């Protein structure tokens, strides 16, 4: 695992942006894997800025997001589709039909999972996947105990995860109990992974991810086995290393 230490969140966002731009420029039809949450917000703003300066175009790119809540339509302000539209897609030139997220309100959720997995295969797999890290080691919505060979599937969200995400909702009760997520096996098939971790509150988790035992009890630990991972972390996140 390559570790890039940056000073702070701004540095993390700029470095991550540069890596994505290099990926896009180095390929005819790049397939990007994207994440939501707080951590990539700065990255998306940097990408928008770079696009506005004419430094990058997303016209040939396809994007696949890691996950989506079950039960929320894409028009719901807390759905991850809505987040992606607001934070990135509406402000760049990626064609709408080249941006994919699981449909959290599909009538047949199992079918939706299979189809999502198939769409990723049909695109030739993800070239560069952006990941954040949960306090309990989750990647995507793969909570502790998820099988390392799992593919896109439906999950029951951990209470810690629901509490961590409650800040985006008006109450904890409103946070959905289920989500669709790419599996750990799906993530491990991505050709390159860029993991972003910021702040002291993630320090223990990132330490365990890098130095801990590889175990399904701490999903992110599997990244030790991936051949092409770059971890971009700021001083706070690396403070216990």
Q: How far is the CB of 99 from ligand F6R (least distance, A)?
A: 14
Instruction: Yes or no: say if 17 and 46 are a contact pair by the CB < 8 Å rule.
Output: yes
Q: How far is the CB of 28 from ligand F6R (least distance, A)?
A: 27
Q: How far is the CB of 225 from ligand F6R (least distance, A)?
A: 19
Q: Are strands 67-69 and 99-100 parallel, antiparallel or unpaired?
A: unpaired
Q: Which of 33, 140, 176, 183 binds ligand F6R (CB under 6 A)?
A: 140
Q: Is 134 near ligand F6R (CB under 6 A)?
A: yes
Q: Which is nearer to ligand F6R, 58 or 83 (CB)?
A: 83
Q: How far is the CB of 1 from ligand F6R (least distance, A)?
A: 17
Q: What are phi and psi of 75, to 5 degrees?
A: -80, -10
Residues in the chain: 241
Token pair for 237:
């996140």
Q: Which residues are catalytic?
A: 67, 136, 138, 143
Among positions 52-91, residues that touch ligand F6R (CB under 6 A) are 66-67
Q: Which of 15, 23, 30, 37 binds ligand F6R (CB under 6 A)?
A: 37
Q: Is 231 near ligand F6R (CB under 6 A)?
A: no
Q: Which of 23, 36, 63, 79 binds ligand F6R (CB under 6 A)?
A: 36
Q: Which is nearer to ligand F6R, 55 or 147 (CB)?
A: 147
Instruction: Yes or no: say if 127 and 31 are a contact pair by the CB < 8 Å rule.
Output: yes
Q: Is 30 near ligand F6R (CB under 6 A)?
A: no
Q: Which is nearer to ligand F6R, 23 or 39 (CB)?
A: 39
Binding site for ligand F6R (CB under 6 A): 35-39, 66-67, 132-134, 138-141
């Amino acid at each position: 695992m390559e570790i890039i230490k940056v000073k702070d969140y701004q540095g993390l966002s700029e470095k991550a942006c540069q890596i994505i731009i290099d990926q896009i420029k180095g390929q005819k039809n790049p397939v990007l894997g994207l994440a939501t949450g707080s951590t990539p917000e700065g990255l998306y703003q940097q990408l928008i800025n770079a696009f506005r300066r004419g430094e990058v175009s997303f016209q040939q790119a396809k994007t696949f997001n890691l996950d989506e809540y079950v039960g929320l339509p894409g028009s719901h302000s807390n759905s991850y589709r809505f987040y992606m539209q607001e934070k990135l897609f509406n402000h760049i030139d990626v064609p709408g039909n080249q941006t994919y997220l699981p449909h959290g309100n599909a009538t047949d959720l199992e079918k939706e999972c299979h189809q999502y997995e198939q769409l990723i295969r049909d695109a030739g797999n993800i070239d560069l996947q952006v990941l954040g890290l949960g306090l309990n080691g989750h990647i995507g919505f793969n909570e502790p105990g998820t099988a390392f060979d799992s593919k896109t599937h439906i999950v029951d969200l951990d209470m810690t995860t629901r509490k961590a995400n409650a800040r985006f909702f008006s109450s904890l009760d409103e946070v959905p109990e289920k989500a669709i997520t790419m599996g750990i096996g799906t993530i491990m098939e991505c050709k390159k992974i860029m993991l972003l971790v910021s702040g002291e509150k993630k320090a223990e988790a990132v330490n365990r991810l890098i130095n801990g035992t590889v175990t399904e009890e701490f999903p992110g630990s599997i990244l030790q086995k991936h051949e092409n991972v770059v971890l971009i972390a700021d001083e706070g996140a690396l403070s216990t290393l």
